[in-house]
Chain A
């Protein structure tokens, strides 16, 4: 097996181990306090319904806890502190963690607390919305940052239209994401201003022609692209400017190449490394989604699913989300390392 192959295997193994460790950590941390999901499911006591006897309410809580599987011990061991003395207790295989792990090994992610539905189909449905959104946004950000970075670095950045573009990009960076999204919404979907794009992702009919579906994605994708573009473009412009002042660039220009040719053929390959790092940072959104954009544009994606599950203390959904996000992030890191090795052959990947 080649060095790259061994490295890839080692990396995937480490990624799996790390994802399992992170998910287990979140599993245990979230379930340390079992009262919140029960509280939320039982709801606030309705003000004027006739009250229960005190014992009945405790029985009700116990019933809900048993139904959700929260009545068992949490882990194989547990730590108790009494009067300053710490003691560890063994619980055996009947604990929440073991059940979850066994279920995971069989491919079952568990049942949601809120409605008892299996989690896998829910995530698949949410991914169907997030993948196009985040995928298009990533492509747009990559293309946009390349174009804008090259344009900015082509000349002095302190005068002319380049200074204006620089200022505009810095201004965009200063805006929070929700401000960009709301701004686009009020500019392009507002009957008072320009009413040319749909405001939210609702299907007017059961089967909609794909141009209409594509139109509904324009504003969310634009919002995401505008939010990440400034940092990428300014980073590329800065690195390219630094490369242009290097000796080899002067030599190339002395040979008669135009600035653009120097940029694209010589400076850009050297500037690829930081750019690839920044681009690889966009990949986890393919799985984790972008909560703000999905909420504002009413897209039922994975970001919203995870945020709503956290707010409702729906731990199975949260843990499944953490598992997917961790895997996505680790795979993105591994992919980035492979790309570094491709971009700069001097980089050695050791397993």
Chain B
């Protein structure tokens, strides 16, 4: 009996030891991350968390504005002025804000931008990714009258240069190049050196200094002009950012959203497991839970206590769950077969089952609500239709035999319709889709081999074409319509996993990319979506939602369709809990 009371005493004392931290002074915001950013170097941001951290530490010329869903000027004082030269060059004229300064008071000038671009193109540094996103930049020209004005010379004339040219963090020249030795080298020279890897001593010295400074783990050695400073980083546990007491944008009379930074401290806790993260939220050990899975969302909404304490947000993102075909396979070479097989997916019920009905179906790769100006609503949504699939297969020349569907191939030999479907193992949504597809195909007598692939092997499998069909998440771009990377024949060994492309479709994609006026774009995009349904190299099933759960006292979270789905620097704490409904 005495052991029983001793046990109760022990449990009670342990309970009092670990009270969840409830009503502390709300100056800090605690957010959950799934993985460690690993490398905070602004040149080699390996995952989305690193990008978010870099946005806190550094400022770019333009930054994504989550409230409007487009780019807004941050270090620049307005969007750049475009000047097209001939048919192959673009000049983008930028003007930096006069209030922008570094931490030591020096102003941010065009020479800093030039230095940053040279660093991005410097060979021998781990900057391949950011370099490829800026590879249209050829040179930078200064304005002799105004040290804050400069012009970027770009090769090509795509309309998205306007936004993409400003999306990189501006770095201070004095930190890595105090003697200004790189000012003698023009950016064009550096760009040429990066292409043919010819060694230039000044660049080699710069690369060495960069590597020695180990910016990836000590970003304070290359301090940017962003609002926050990294004060603590325990790898794979947490990161803490503190607001700089005097930041240059505080002096602006009407700071735009991209230049607001309210929380005094931002703390990111790394919790890999979803169930643990949900419990941490329930115990008030974290305040914001981004990228919540459908199951956790449903479970939290079902709990009355959670409904009282937390607000639930849901927006439809730009990520599409897509099923695709390997158009180089002989069985899938014609569009009728592909159309027939695409009718074996049931996007409506899959969306309801796996995403709780949140998310949106689409006819093409365009967002139905955010891109409604260009969305072709006259086209039918992809639906589950077994009889129509059979009709289409017969029209494509397939005959149903006791052994399966066969038809004569190009060389006269009969070929058998059997499919191998590849998808990443970790996602349970893909597994449900694959099982539903296989069940439907079995009803028609088509054998399907399901191949879950371990995450890191998936990219290689897709690139090398070792599959008949795949199911994956296609990330979209909210700012431009450029489908060259995924549907142009030129990229068949890169991002065009379907290996699709005919001269007609190539021309259409190039025209879409080059269109300038909205009317022109609308007409071309309507044709593009119709082409996508007709040719069916991939079947867009549905857009995924971003789900967010946060404490009810938190405001100005701006849940948006742009990654990461919320805006951390604008968060404020209210005194009373807001009655925030679930937003669709």
Contacts and interface: CB of A to CB of B under 8 A. Distances in A.
Contacts of A36: 456-457, 459-460
Interface in B275-314: 275-276, 279-280, 282-283, 285, 303, 305
Nearest to A115: B39
A151 interface: no
B21 A45 contact: no
Interface in B259-285: 269-273, 275-276, 279-280, 282-283, 285
A43 interface: yes
A40 B132 contact: no
B20 interface: yes
Interface in A167-208: 182, 185-186, 189-192, 195-204, 206
A313 interface: yes
B488 interface: yes
A67 interface: yes
Contacts of A297: 273, 276
Contact of A51 (B211, B235, B481, B488): B488
Contacts of B164: 49-50
B556 interface: no
Contact of A60 (B14, B132, B280): B132
Centre residue among A57, A114, A202 by max chain B CB count within 10 A:
A202
Contacts of A42: 128-129
A304 interface: yes
Contacts of B235: 122, 125, 300
A39 B460 contact: yes
A191 B132 contact: no
Most A CB within 10 A of own CB, among B20, B160, B197, B275: B275
A57 B495 CA distance: 11
Contacts of A199: 276, 279-280, 283, 285
A317 to B, nearest CB: 12
A311 interface: yes
B552 to A, nearest CB: 15
Nearest to B276: A200
Given A114-B46, A195-B20, A47 B485 contact: yes
A250 interface: no
A312 to B, nearest CB: 7
Interface in A27-70: 35-36, 39-52, 54, 56-57, 59-60, 63-64, 67
B498 to A, nearest CB: 13
B490 interface: yes
A116 interface: yes
Contacts of A304: 236, 272
A298 interface: yes
A40 B456 contact: yes
A21 B39 CA distance: 33
Given A47-B485, A51-B488, A295-B273, A197 B18 contact: yes
Given A125-B235, A200-B280, A46 B275 contact: no
Nearest to B237: A300
B490 A51 contact: yes
A139 interface: no
A39 B158 CA distance: 27
B562 to A, nearest CB: 13
B156 interface: yes
Interface string B108-142: 00000000000000011010110011011000000
Contacts of B216: 115-117
A47 B17 CA distance: 50
B482 interface: yes
Interface residues of A, number: 61
Contacts of A215: 14, 17-18
Contacts of B129: 42-43
A186 B15 CA distance: 15
Chain B: interface size category: 35 or more
A311 B276 contact: no
B456 A313 contact: yes
B282 A191 contact: yes
Contacts of A57: 494
B381 interface: no
A333 interface: no
B491 A51 contact: yes
A242 interface: no
A63 B285 contact: no
A39 B305 contact: no
A212 interface: yes
B324 to A, nearest CB: 13
Given A48-B476, A52-B132, A40 B17 contact: no
A44 B126 contact: no
Contacts of B456: 36, 39-40, 311-313
A190 B454 CA distance: 32
A91 B287 CA distance: 57
A144 B25 CA distance: 44
B480 A48 contact: yes
A296 interface: yes
Contacts of B276: 185, 199-200, 296-298
Contacts of A191: 20, 282-283, 305
Contact of B270 (A116, A125, A298): A298
A253 to B, nearest CB: 30
Contacts of A45: 485, 491, 494-495
Nearest to B232: A206
Given A64-B128, A196-B14, A215-B18, A46 B133 contact: yes
B477 interface: yes
Contact of A48 (B39, B270, B483): B483
Contacts of B474: 47
Contacts of B476: 47-48
Interface string A208-233: 00011001000000000000000000
Q: Which of B160, B272, B484 gathers most chain A CB within 10 Å?
A: B272
Contacts of A54: 490, 493-494
Interface string A265-287: 00000000000000000000000
B493 A47 contact: no
Nearest to B284: A191
Nearest to A125: B235
B486 interface: yes
Given A206-B232, A296-B275, A198 B485 contact: no
Interface in B297-338: 303, 305
Interface in B136-168: 136, 156, 158, 160, 164
Given A195-B283, A198-B18, A203 B460 contact: no
B11 interface: yes
B475 interface: yes
A116 B460 CA distance: 23
Nearest to B480: A48
A311 B133 contact: no
Nearest to B493: A54
A114 B214 CA distance: 13
Interface in B485-506: 485-486, 488, 490-491, 493-495
Contacts of B18: 196-198, 212, 215
Interface in B167-207: 195, 197
A114 B129 CA distance: 13
B384 interface: no
Contacts of A122: 235
Contact of B237 (A52, A60, A114, A202): A202
B38 interface: yes
Contacts of B195: 56, 59
A83 B95 CA distance: 64
Nearest to B272: A295
B526 interface: no
Given A51-B491, A212-B17, A300 B236 contact: yes
7 closest Cβ contacts across the A-B interface?
A48-B477, A45-B495, A300-B236, A196-B15, A115-B39, A199-B279, A48-B482
9 contacts: A35-B460, A42-B128, A47-B486, A57-B494, A60-B132, A185-B279, A186-B275, A195-B15, A297-B276
